[in-house]
Every structure is written in C-alpha cells, then in structure tokens.
Amino acid sequence: MKPVLSQSAPHIRRGRTTTHIMLDVLIALVPASIAAVWNFGIRAVWLLAVTTLSCAITQWFCLLLRRQGEFDASALVSGVLLALSLPAGTSLWAAALAGAFSIALIKEAFGGIGHNLLNPAMAARGLLLAAFPAALTGYIRPDAVSSATPLSAVDGPVNLDGWLPMFTGFENGSMGETSVLMILVGGVYLYFKGAIRLRMPVTCLGAFSAVIWIFGGSYGWFTGPVVPHLLSGGLMLGAFFMITDFTTKPTTFWGELVFAAGVGILTAVLRLWGPYPEGVCFAILLMNLAAPLLEYLTRARVYGMKNLLGGIRPLKRAH
Amino acid sequence: MPLISHAFFGGIPFPQQVEQKSLTAAKPLEDFSPSTLVLSMRQGLGEICTPTVEPGQPVLVGQVVGESSQGIQPPVHCGVSGRVIAVEPRPSADGEEVLSVVVENDRRNLPAPLLPEMTVHEPASHWIARMREAGLIGMGGAGFPTWKKYGAPAIDTVLVNGCECEPYLTCDHRVMLQRTDRVISGALALGRAAGVSPRQIIFCVETNKPDAAHRLKKAAEHAGMSLISLPDRYPEGGERQLIQAVLGREIPLGGLPADVGAVVSNVATAAAMGDAVMGIPLTHRAVTVSGQVSRPANLWVPVGTLFSDLLRYCGGENAPNPAPPAFWQEGKTCRMIAGGPMTGRLLERLDVPITKATSGLTVLPPQAWEEQNCIRCGACARVCPSRLMPFAIDAAVVAGKMPVCQDYGAVECISCGCCSYVRPARRFLATRVTLARNTLRRQMSAVKK
C-alpha cells in the first residue's frame, strides 16, 4: 500500500506503530529464549531458528500469493512463541511444519495480521499435539535425560521445597515454560511498554489457582497444590504472552477479564481431568473462539446510550 | 484549585512535545490588519447570508455587510474601513466557493455608529437579540449561532469554556489573560441571556494554563462566578466532555446541551459578548499561527483575513523538517491546517479567509501514513470519549455495512480524532467513523422528514 496523505483531521499521530509493538514483544521474549538456550543448549537454538525461519518464509510466500500486505515482525513473534511452547526435543521437521501451518492457515488465510481467529503459536502447538504426539514427547533435561513434564507427577502430596528450581527454570517442560522468572521479566517489560495490562495475566492466574486449590487436592477440597501448578507447564507463557495477543482476545474491559478467567479455569479443568498433562494450549484455543462473542456482549456503554445485552438504545430525552 | 471528581471517558493527556503550546503561550496578541478582507457569507453552521453592500461602496468598521434572510445565521460585520471591491464567490477553507464580500482596507479604521449599550435590567430576550445583532457565533470551532443556544428553556448552568485542549492553539489562553474584563462582563451577560444567576456560571480552564486560571479566578469570584480547574486532557474542551466532566450529565442521542440544562460557550465568545454589551459587534478575533513558521504568534485580526496574509505576517513557513517524502507534490512543502492539528482542516490553498470560528493556522511538517491491517489492540476504544469501538466501525465502513455502524453507536462520534492519533496500524479511523456518523445522521433526518 502506498503512503496516503491524510486529508482529514487529525493531522498528527502518535509515533508508536504496529512494528514497534511487535519488536517490543520480541524483546520481551529474549529473556525466556536465553533461559531456553541456557537449559537446553544448541538444541534450543536450532528449534528457535527453525520455527522462526519457517514462519518468516511462509509469510513472505503468502504475501507473494495474496499480492497485498507487507512483511512485518508479527511472523517472527509467532515463530519465537511457537518455539518456546514446544519441548526442546521436538523433531525439527515437525516444528517447521507447525510454523508454516500457523502462518499459512491460521494467520494469512484469514486475512493476515489482525484477522486471525486463533493464536497462531497455540494453534500450531495444538496441531502437533493432536497430529504428531510422538514428535512432541522429547522432553529433555539439561542432562539430556528424557522424561515427562513434571505435571504428570504433581498429583500426590507435593514437597513445596521444590518450587525454586521450577521458578528459575531447571526443571522439565517445554522450552519457554521452564523459567517462570524469565517469563515474568519479559511480562514486566511489556507492562511498562504499555503493550499488555496486568489485569489479564492476574485474572487468568487467579482463576486458575482458585480452581486448582478447590478441586486439585488429593485429600479433599481446598487442598490443591497451587504453587507447583502455577509454576509448571505453559501457564506463565500463556498468561503473559498468549492470552494478551491483541488479535485473538476481546478488546473490552469485561471481555478481557472473562476471557482471561476462562483460560485460567479451562486450563485447570483440562489439567485435572483432561487426557493431556497440559491444558493451556486447548484452553486458549477454546477461548479464542469465544472472543468475538465475548467482545460483542461486553461492549462499553456508548455515550448517551444505555446497554441492552449487547444492543444499545438511546437515553430518554429530558425535555 | 480543586480538581473535579467527575471525568469524561477516554481522551489523551498530550505530552508537551506534542502539545507545543509553549511556542506561542507567552506571546501577547499582536494587532494585524491586512490590506484586503474577504468576508465569507457563510461564517458558521446554518444558511448563507445575503450581501447588503454593493461593489464600490465605502464601508466602516462594524458595518453590516451580510444578513440572513431566514434570520438564524447572525449578520456579518466588516472589521476594517475601506471600499468594497467585489461581491463574488471566493474559495473558502471548506474547499467550496462561497459568496463573499471583498473589502479593500484604507487603514483609517473609521467606525460605524455603535449599537446602544445594554443596561443590566433588560430582560433575557433583549440579551439574546443582542447576541444575534452583534453577530455572535460559537468561536471555539463549531460556529453554532450563539443566540440559538441561549433561547432554550430550562437552562440551569452556563459553562464558559477556556479549556483549549487542542494542541498548538493558545489564542483562548491569550484572550483570558489580555481581555479578562471583557470575558467577565461577557460571561455575566451570557448568564442574563440564559436567565441564570452568576453563581451558576462556571469557568472551565485546564491546569496547563495556571496564569490564565489564576487571573480569571480572581476576577470571576469577585463577580460572584466560579472557576473550575480541569485536568489537561484532550478533548476536555469538547462540549459534551465538558458537561460530563463538570456536571456529570450525558446528552442523549441527537440532543443538544440544553437538553440537560447546560449551555457551553467558548471564552472567545464570552469576550465577544462583553464587546456586544457595549455595542461593539463581532469583527475581530484572536488566532494562533504556530508550528513550522519563522515567528509563531498570537494575532488579533479582523474576521476575513486571508491565511496567506497571516502566514506572511509571521515570516512564512520554515523549511520542512524532516524533509518531505519523495511522492510529495512539487512546490508543496508544509501542511497548512486551519485550526489545530486534531480537528483542523487541511487547507488546499492559502488564499482563503478565516471565519469567526477559525482559531488559528497550524503549519505542520509533511507527513503521510500507510494504512496497515488493524491489530485489534483496542487503543482506539480506550481513548474514545464517546466509548465507541472505532476499529469495529472502521471495519464495518470498509465492508459497507451501515446497520452495523449504527449498532456500534457511530452516531455518537464527536470527530475528536483521538482514535486516529493513537492507532498503531495508522488507519484513518476518525475519517471513516465520521463518515459513518454523517451517513447515519442523514439517514435519521431523512426518516424524520
């Protein structure tokens, strides 16, 4: 698209553009990526490179086919997020396929950036989880011993002394899921850059903790092991980077809260009773689908109007 | 000064480097009288006036040169003395040709006989009639005939709007500082026209003008009126936002401020009313010439001065910084905006006159924007003072779905431009939402008829 001279007001704009926001998200993902490389070594570098390149090339190709739009950093964001949500042992061909799928079918097929219904990274992970579960089982430790995510082990009474390694990242799991500390650093950066507001992660984690606390215990209600659940799996990555994705969440205040709470509750439910040890991915995808409706139902009251369950009526005239 | 507890929704607190008021805030009003005056017969909203003078006829300062046959639009007065050289359609800032009276200035400033001075005991109807006679229209930008506002029944509050939230502009600021007595006497007169006591007259000034607020507060309280300091937040000076911020009332759909018992007038209008009380019609106004000009200034000029004269008086435009993009037209350097950058109109030519509602000339460096896909960040919805979802209306306009725009309340758009300002994807949101609003309003009025 060619630059257009705006004929009508306003004649000034804020300097911040979409590219700035995407670059901010990329910067915010740097600590988590460093943690992944620290934990998983060269394998993490390969995985990050493969997904990011796959996403970028696919976007370039799709834009060529669509003959519109331009390359932006959003494909890189999707690529890095995808890599961080995969286990380090994921086979590289599966990762490349997932990256191409996320951009081609989830993003560009719907009209490119801003038009996708599902979070590309989560949809790609969902695809791998459903279609190639074997490719995803390669959870590896820094010492290269393959084992399952610790989530399958938190059913019984949990020794809470063990939370510190989970927090700092020397624990099993997907690449970016392992270091809660580094994800928080990125989240705080985004918060201070104004790209996310804390109410979404806080609501999501709060709702999640509540469900886990009430129903998650082995010795009856209200005994659930909240802290290990909070610190493990993809929850933190999801709460700070996935559900705050502009395009696939509602934009309204209450919509955001319901959306975030929905993700938290669904994640807890899927973790406690679902077939997979992890539930964040499907919880986010399900709530993505509900986002347009949530947004419509929770619209703010327009000035001079009153709301009627999603519709609006004018206020009565006083005179 | 206490800050008020009510607040309007959304809005943007502009940082100083965007607001750029410091360019001209400390510059006193300078008198400037151009050699020719082009008095457009359409000064504000409403019908076009009919010229009452012939080419070749001598005119005096304050003489009526145009009058409306229907009587809604107040008459147009000449701001200089001299000779009418033409009565013909001339280009206006709107881009259309409007019938205008062109006057050559003889620089002798011979005054026409004044209207009789008003006395305190006259009834409200006389004050309203005087507003019309003196040619008062809203000088904040909209140009609504002032007397029509004050004729409404059941007004309990008069808000005198000195917010001037628009970036760059400082003309109201200077009027409050330099014409304080006129603003005060005018505000009292506005109160008499509305039939309210001075206690129900409230001056509203943003906190970024502490000197004006201080000066006006002392004078207003001496006269029994009050002054309220409002946070520095665009569009605080919007009529609806001001009423919401000060009184906590919302105007219902399609209504006017009078529907909630309030009436809002600009401080410049109040100052003009102060003149009108003494019999002087509205012939001059304060304008700010700011931005990329060699000598930014506040000027006191007759209505009908050409923008090109204003620019020449202020030393012409600076070399654009940054340099204009390659596609920029030859010979075009800066963007000339009639009014402020948020709500002003881009001028295609400079040989057009200012009207009673023009608050300035803003010269901005050339800049163009490339529209990208909306990323649904929701920033536009957070700053919309009408609590609209501009991105959704934008999408509906692009898809040509007017009923959806209606469902999203597009009629309540106030064209403040906040959505386009914040939007990272650079879409021309305000343009499309305004388009939707205007289309819907036309449909609504067609249904009524």
Q: How far is B377 from chain A (nearest CA, A)?
A: 5
Nearest residue in chain B measured CA to CA from A248: B376
Residue percentage of chain A with pLDDT more than 90: 43
**Res A143 pLDDT > 60:** no
Predicted local distance difference test score (pLDDT) of residue A225: 85
Interchain proximity A6–B428, CB inside 8 Å: yes
Relative to beta strand B284-291, strand B226-230 is unpaired
What value, to the nearest 5°, has the Cα angle with vertex B193 and ends B189 and B198? 55
| Helix B267-277 × helix B180-194 angle, to 10° | 80
Predicted local distance difference test score (pLDDT) of residue B2: 42
Which string of DSSP letters, residue by residue, matches chain A? ---B---SS-----S--HHHHHHHHHHHHHHHHHHHHHHHTHHHHHHHHHHHHHHHHHHHHHHHHHT-S---THHHHHHHHHHHHSBTT--HHHHHHHHHHIIIIIIGGGTSTTT-SS-HHHHHHHHHHHH-HHHH---B-TT--B---GGGGTTS---GGGHHHHHHT-S-SBTTTS-HHHHHHHHHHHHHTTSS-THHHHHHHHHHHHHHHHH--SSSTT---HHHHHHSTTHHHIIIIITT-GGGS--SHHHHHHHHHHHHHHHHHHHHHSSSS--HHHHHHHHHHHHHHHHHHTPPPPTTEEEETTEEEEPPP--
Do residues B134 and B280 make contact, with C-beta atoms less than 8 angstroms apart?
A: yes
* Test the B interface: residue of A1, A4, A8 with most B CBs within 10 Å: A8
Distance in angstroms (rounded) separating the CA atoms of residues B395 and B403: 12
Distance in angstroms (rounded) separating the CA atoms of residues A99 and A168: 28
Q: How far is A2 from chain B (nearest CA, A)?
A: 6
Q: What is the mean pLDDT of residues B40-51?
A: 87
Structure tokens at B179: 């014409």
Put simply, the chain B residues between 239 and 278 with a CB less than 8 A from any chain A CB are: 240, 244, 250-255, 258-261
Q: How far is A256 from chain B (nearest CA, A)?
A: 11
Residue percentage of chain A with pLDDT more than 70: 81
Predicted local distance difference test score (pLDDT) of residue A122: 93
For residue B111, what are the β-bridge partners?
Answer: B61
Residue A40: pLDDT band (50, 70, 90) is confident
Residue B210: pLDDT band (50, 70, 90) is very high
Is domain A18-297 annotated with CATH 1.10.3430? Answer: yes
Q: Which residue has the tokens 């949990």?
A: A158
ipTM over 0.90: no
Query: Which residues, 6+ apart, have CB-to-CB distance to B231 below 8 Å?
Result: B3, B7, B13, B206, B207
Nearest residue in chain B measured CA to CA from A303: B386
B218-244 per-position pLDDT tens digit: 999 999 999 999 988 888 888 899 998
- Segments making up each domain of chain A, as ranges: 18-297
**Domains identified in chain B and CATH numbers:** 16-28+115-277 (3.40.50.11540), 379-448 (no CATH)
Predicted local distance difference test score (pLDDT) of residue B217: 94
What value, to the nearest 5°, has the Cα angle with vertex B371 and ends B367 and B377? 110
Which string of DSSP letters, residue by residue, matches B313-333? HTT-BPPPSSPPPTTSPTT--
Residue percentage of chain B with pLDDT more than 70: 95
Predicted local distance difference test score (pLDDT) of residue B1: 36
Please report residues of A whose CB lies closer than 8 A to that of B141: none
**Res A297 pLDDT > 70:** yes
Which tops the pLDDT comparison, B322 or B34? B34
Nearest to B375 among A69, A113, A314 (CB): A113
Cβ of residue A246 closer than 8 Å to a chain B Cβ: yes
Which tops the pLDDT comparison, A45 or B324? A45
Predicted local distance difference test score (pLDDT) of residue A168: 54
B139-184 per-position pLDDT tens digit: 987 788 999 888 888 899 999 999 999 999 999 999 999 999 999 9
Predicted local distance difference test score (pLDDT) of residue B325: 64
Residue B448: pLDDT band (50, 70, 90) is low
Put simply, the chain A residues between 80 and 119 with a CB less than 8 A from any chain B CB are: 111-115
Across all residues in chain B, what is the average pLDDT? 89
**Res A145 pLDDT > 60:** no
Predicted local distance difference test score (pLDDT) of residue B326: 63
Least confident of B27-36, B205-214, B230-239, B440-449: B440-449
Q: How far is B375 from chain A (nearest CA, A)?
A: 4
Predicted local distance difference test score (pLDDT) of residue B43: 87
Interchain proximity A13–B335, CB inside 8 Å: no
Q: What is the mean pLDDT of residues A175-203?
A: 88
Cβ of residue A68 closer than 8 Å to a chain B Cβ: no
**Res A158 pLDDT > 50:** no
Cβ of residue B341 closer than 8 Å to a chain A Cβ: yes
Which tops the pLDDT comparison, A176 or B219? B219
Interchain proximity B250–A316, CB inside 8 Å: no
Q: Which residue has the tokens 């209207």?
A: B115
Distance in angstroms (rounded) separating the CA atoms of residues A149 and B148: 74
Rg of the Cα atoms in chain A: 21
Residue B38: pLDDT band (50, 70, 90) is very high
Nearest residue in chain B measured CA to CA from A308: B407
Predicted local distance difference test score (pLDDT) of residue B95: 83
Distances (CA, A) of B313 to A306, B36, B402: 51, 14, 46
**Res A239 pLDDT > 50:** yes
Predicted local distance difference test score (pLDDT) of residue A319: 41
Interchain proximity A305–B409, CB inside 8 Å: yes
Which tops the pLDDT comparison, A180 or A186? A186
Residues in chain A: 319
Residue B320: pLDDT band (50, 70, 90) is low
A6-20 per-position pLDDT tens digit: 677 888 888 888 888
Do residues A202 and A263 make contact, with C-beta atoms less than 8 angstroms apart?
A: no
Interchain proximity B412–A18, CB inside 8 Å: no
* Test the A interface: residue of B14, B372, B431 with most A CBs within 10 Å: B372
Which tops the pLDDT comparison, B33 or A147? B33
Q: How far is B302 from chain A (nearest CA, A)?
A: 26
Residue A238: pLDDT band (50, 70, 90) is very high
Predicted local distance difference test score (pLDDT) of residue A3: 65
**Res A156 pLDDT > 50:** no
Distance in angstroms (rounded) separating the CA atoms of residues A182 and B191: 63
Least confident of A120-124, A134-138, B407-411: A134-138
**Res A98 pLDDT > 50:** yes
**Res A147 pLDDT > 50:** no
Residue B134: pLDDT band (50, 70, 90) is very high
Distance in angstroms (rounded) separating the CA atoms of residues B244 and B238: 10
Residue B252: pLDDT band (50, 70, 90) is confident
Residue A314: pLDDT band (50, 70, 90) is low
**Res B435 pLDDT > 60:** yes
Number of neighbours of residue B326 by Cβ within 10 angstroms: 6
Predicted local distance difference test score (pLDDT) of residue A318: 44
**Res A159 pLDDT > 50:** no
**Res A146 pLDDT > 90:** no
Predicted local distance difference test score (pLDDT) of residue B330: 56
Do residues A178 and A278 make contact, with C-beta atoms less than 8 angstroms apart?
A: no
Where would I find the H helices in B223-279? Answer: 239-247, 267-277
